[in-house]
Amino acid sequence: MIVVAVVGPTATGKSDLALDLAAALGPGGPAAGGPVRGRAPAEIVNADAYQLYRGMDIGTAKVPRDERRGIAHHELDVLDPHEDSSVARYQSAARADLDAIGERGARAVVVGGSGLYVRALLDEMNFPGTDPAIRSGLEDRAEREGRRALHAELARRDPAAAEAIGPANTRRIVRALEVIEITGAPYTANLPRQQYVRPAVQIGLDCDRATLDARVEARVAHMWDAGLVDEVRRLASPEQGGTGPGLGTTAARAVGYAEILAWFRGELGEDDARTAITANTRRLARKQMGWFGRDPRVHWLDAGSPTLLDDALAVVAAADAGSLPRPGEGPVRRTLGA
């Protein structure tokens, strides 16, 4: 069964559409034509890097448990805030979720705006390990022979990687040679490709800049009123200005949390922190649109359309029927990433 992914910038209503799709694609939903014996309920798989964390609820716009309509959600609340997230760990766990959902005969609806996590789940993307001995040896060679010597070796072993990396980035040259040594394959063979590992369709939500900016401002106001500051204080350690166990390196970088932590440290005032959250959320939305906008496989819909669910279901039906245009052939509407 084709995996449905709802992607796009923050504050466009991805979670709401994912819930609507999961309900519609379930056994009693309109897309099923009424109750269907044997059809399993659809299930949702999170692809937002910060919704993985327990307790980071308000600032990540996590759907409260009592508003999930009884629909199973996966990859929510699987890490403590002091832990650092790993795309490789997420890929392994979330792909296992997709396997299990498929074995139950259910439809998986992936939702999130973390582009790398979406790609890691849906696309061909490998994460070669590391070898401290190999890396140390390469770093020693870079010191003795110079990075240009290593770059020349990379050019012999993987010309495409050498051209992409250039001779000035020692760290990336070392990593590329390390991967070649570990895998026995060119470094470029391990780079992500826009190739689904299982049948999938991506639905992107988009809206014009002014509308998105207004949505972001409203979202930040709602989060502030809902207790975002108290949430950060409960999670942050005393050294971070809070009363909790502490936020790790990854969690502390999340928009909404980083700015309040800066306020706690005395680097920003309260009003400045709130203003910074709004500005950085807008910046994040632009970045997300740039990421997803470069993927020609995304089928873009107007987030404010009164027929949004019907439009999304039509995309899913076309994907199921194999009648969607191939990448680059269909119209791709872009307003934010242009």
Residues 173, 158: Cα–Cα separation, whole Å: 11
Summarised one tens digit per residue, pLDDT across range 259-284 is 999 999 999 999 999 999 999 999 99
Looking only at Cα atoms, what is the longest distance across the chain? Answer: 71
Could you list the residues known to form a binding site for substrate, using ranges: 10-15
Asked whether residue 124 carries a pLDDT value surpassing 50, the answer given is yes
What's the pLDDT at 156? 96
What's the pLDDT at 338? 41
Chain-centroid distance, C-alpha 242: 28
Q: Give the residue with greater pLDDT, 40 vs 260.
A: 260
Instruction: Provide the pLDDT confidence category of residue 140 given band limits of 50, 70 and 90.
Output: very high
The mean pLDDT of the chain is 92
For residue 3, the cross-strand partners are: 200
> What tokens appear for 284 in the block?
């994040």
Asked whether residue 35 carries a pLDDT value surpassing 70, the answer given is no
Domain 3-126+194-208+296-321 has CATH 2.50.20.10: no
Asked whether residue 31 carries a pLDDT value surpassing 70, the answer given is no
Instruction: Provide the pLDDT confidence category of residue 32 given band limits of 50, 70 and 90.
Output: low
Could you list the residues known to form a binding site for ATP, using ranges: 8-15
What is the CB-side half-sphere exposure of residue 251 using CA atoms within 13 A? 25
H-only helix segments in 236-297: 257-264, 270-293
**Average confidence (pLDDT) over 68-85:** 96
DSSP 8-class letter at 79: B
Domain 132-190 has CATH 1.10.760.10: no
Query: 121, 91 in Cβ contact below 8 A?
Result: yes
Instruction: Provide the pLDDT confidence category of residue 190 given band limits of 50, 70 and 90.
Output: confident
Domain 210-290 fold is Helix Hairpins (1.10.287)
Could you list the residues known to form a binding site, using ranges: 8-15
> How do the domains of the chain map onto residue ranges?
3-126+194-208+296-321, 132-190, 210-290
